[in-house]
Amino acid sequence: MLHAGQIPDPHVGARAVPIYQTTSYVFENTEEAAHLFELKQYGNIYSRISNPTTAVFEERMASLENATGAVAVASGMAAQFGTLMTLLSPGDHIVASSQLYGGTLTQLAHTFKKLSVDVSFVDPSETLNWESAITPKTKLLFVEIIGNPSGAIPDLEGLAALAKSKRMPLIVDSTFATPYLCRPIDWGATIVTHSATKFIGGHGSSIGGVVVDSGDFDFSRYATIAEASPSYHGLRFFDTFGHYAFMMKLRAETVRDTGACISPMNSFLLLQGLETLSLRMDRHVANAQAIAAYLEAHPKVNRVHYAGLESHPHFERAKKYLPKGPGAVMAFEINPGATDPRQAGKKFIEGLQLFSHLANIGDAKSLVIHPGSTTHQQLSDEEMVAAGITPSTIRLSVGLETLEDLIWDLDQALSAI
């Protein structure tokens, strides 16, 4: 969190990572320039592709995840899109969890449909559901380590074994966990994505995403990685870069051509958050566990979706994969009594004083939202049910405030229903 990827600046002795706020870099000579553009030499050409500040953030994330490398991009959505664009071709098929962030569901179901990529959504709870959805055209499995907002925990080992048996990568969005609570690569995942906007940054100030690669997958049978690249005069990424082929393809082609780059300033700000990740996550989880227990016992709450509770169907699985705690995001169902569920949810949210009503998670401040009318509102009724969302579902992102103040706020807002 504090030292990976950086030594004090050798010229002026700066201890903090410098912000290299530049678009481009001077070449020593024409030969070096040619080698950089041909990928025969590592170095910086243009900050759309790489940047020294961003490189520290990438190295730090790769180190934390036990990965071979990382590529930072503009957002978590860009991390997902870039990963899939690098791996897939028209006509390919994805099997994905049905319990994902609403924007991810839309990206997979609709944006990739425009690119002639099909997706099957499955209940992530059981590995058998995934296996039965795999077809000869399936190229990857995609899941969140903690389902948004259901709190579902997948069987990572089982999914990794299935993916390995089918010779396809397992991609895990680990935004809710961060590498402090879970390292999916240690359990067999191939690629891990993060919305660094959330707990990695931790302060709601900067948008960014990151992709990390285990380096353990044989991409020799994936045409997009192994076959000759027309944009690099026939370069074969797998033959040339081996275990680093996916990372190089992602950076040198997908990010280069889509322009989904992160700014050096955002990389710098995300590094500031990363330095206190473990301290913050301990406090986040402690607050979340206590609030989940409080809500579960409250007469105006029907059900709490948080895998830190014994009542959650994945309680034992959470202890295995997330022994420090299953994050700080939870959902619960309001018991509206005679009131319409949506109206009860609206009154509850508008009655809160400390929780901020906005579309984000992972901030130092506690946040609240009604998924059915916001983050997941673009889903059909059937998709909403599959994602584990009802009209009375409320999602909380528990922050770092004093616990008794947060419980006071929840109590007074629930009492007003």
Segment 207-244, tens digit of pLDDT = 999 999 999 999 998 999 999 999 898 999 999 999 99
Pair 143, 203 in one domain? yes
How far apart (Å, rounded) are the C-alpha atoms in residues 175 and 172? 9
pTM for the model: 0.94
Structure confidence at residue 392 as a pLDDT band (50, 70, 90): confident
How far apart (Å, rounded) are the C-alpha atoms in residues 30 and 43? 14
Pair 261, 289 in one domain? no
Pair 250, 360 in one domain? no
Structure confidence at residue 336 as a pLDDT band (50, 70, 90): confident
User: Which H, E and C letters describe 352-396, residue by residue?
Assistant: CCCCEECCCCCCCCCEEECHHHCCCCCCCHHHHHHCCCCCCEEEE
pLDDT in tens, 34-80: 999 999 999 999 999 999 999 999 999 999 999 999 999 999 999 99
Of 327, 319, 331, which Cα lies nearest the Cα of 288?
327
The whole domain housing 403 covers 277-415
What is the residue type of 223? A
* Pairing of β 138-144 and β 170-173: parallel
Q: Hey, how many other C-beta atoms are within 10 angstroms of the C-beta on 83?
A: 26
Report in angstroms the alpha-carbon separations of 19 from 60, 76, 144, 172, 267: 16, 22, 32, 30, 8
* Pairing of β 356-357 and β 367-369: parallel
Q: Considering only 118-127, 157-166, 250-259, 332-341, which range has the smallest mean pLDDT?
A: 332-341
pLDDT of residue 345: 84
Instruction: Mark out the alpha helices in 69-155 (DSSP H runs).
Output: 76-87, 102-106, 112-114, 127-133
What is the residue type of 43? G
Residue where a domain stops, chosen among 243, 273, 303: 273
- The CATH number of the domain holding residue 346 is 3.90.1150.10
Number of domains in the chain: 2
User: Is the predicted pLDDT of residue 372 greater than 80, yes or no?
Assistant: no
Residue where a domain stops, chosen among 229, 255, 273: 273
pLDDT of residue 358: 93
Burial code (b: 16+ CB inside 10 Å, e: under 16) for 21-42 equals: eeeebebeeeeebeebeebeee
DSSP for 149-181?
A: TT-----HHHHHHHHHHTT--EEEE-TTTHHHH
pLDDT in tens, 285-328: 999 999 999 999 999 999 999 999 999 999 999 999 999 999 99
Contacts of 109 (CB under 8 A, 6+ apart): 119, 121
How far apart (Å, rounded) are the C-alpha atoms in residues 142 and 107? 13
* Pairing of β 209-213 and β 191-195: antiparallel
User: Is the predicted pLDDT of residue 376 greater than 70, yes or no?
Assistant: no
Pair 74, 127 in one domain? yes
Domain contains 5: no
Pair 100, 164 in one domain? yes
Domain contains 17: no
Pair 263, 329 in one domain? no
Query: What is the percent of the chain where pLDDT is above 70?
Result: 96
Query: What is the percent of the chain where pLDDT is above 90?
Result: 87
Q: Considering only 21-30, 110-119, 330-339, 396-405, which range has the smallest mean pLDDT?
A: 330-339
Domain contains 56: yes
Pair 230, 98 in one domain? yes
Q: Hey, how many other C-beta atoms are within 10 angstroms of the C-beta on 360?
A: 16
Residue 202 token pair: 């931790």
How far apart (Å, rounded) are the C-alpha atoms in residues 52 and 170? 30
The mean pLDDT of 357-377, rounded to a whole number, is 85
Domain contains 108: yes
Pair 124, 260 in one domain? yes
pLDDT in tens, 90-134: 999 999 999 999 899 999 999 999 999 999 999 999 999 999 999
Residue where a domain stops, chosen among 224, 249, 273: 273
How far apart (Å, rounded) are the C-alpha atoms in residues 238 and 256? 18
How far apart (Å, rounded) are the C-alpha atoms in residues 264 and 204? 17
Peptide bond between residue 149 and the one before it cis (omega within 30 degrees of 0)? yes
- The CATH number of the domain holding residue 51 is 3.40.640.10
User: Is the predicted pLDDT of residue 344 greater than 70, yes or no?
Assistant: yes
pLDDT of residue 338: 64
Tokens 């130092």, residue located: 364
pLDDT of residue 102: 86
Domain contains 301: yes
Q: What is the average pLDDT value for the chain, to the nearest integer?
A: 94
Pair 98, 242 in one domain? yes
Domain contains 345: yes
Angle at 212 between CA 208 and CA 215, to 5 degrees: 165
Pair 196, 317 in one domain? no
Q: Assign residue 202 a region: left if phi > 0, alpha if psi is -120 to 50, beta otherwise?
A: left
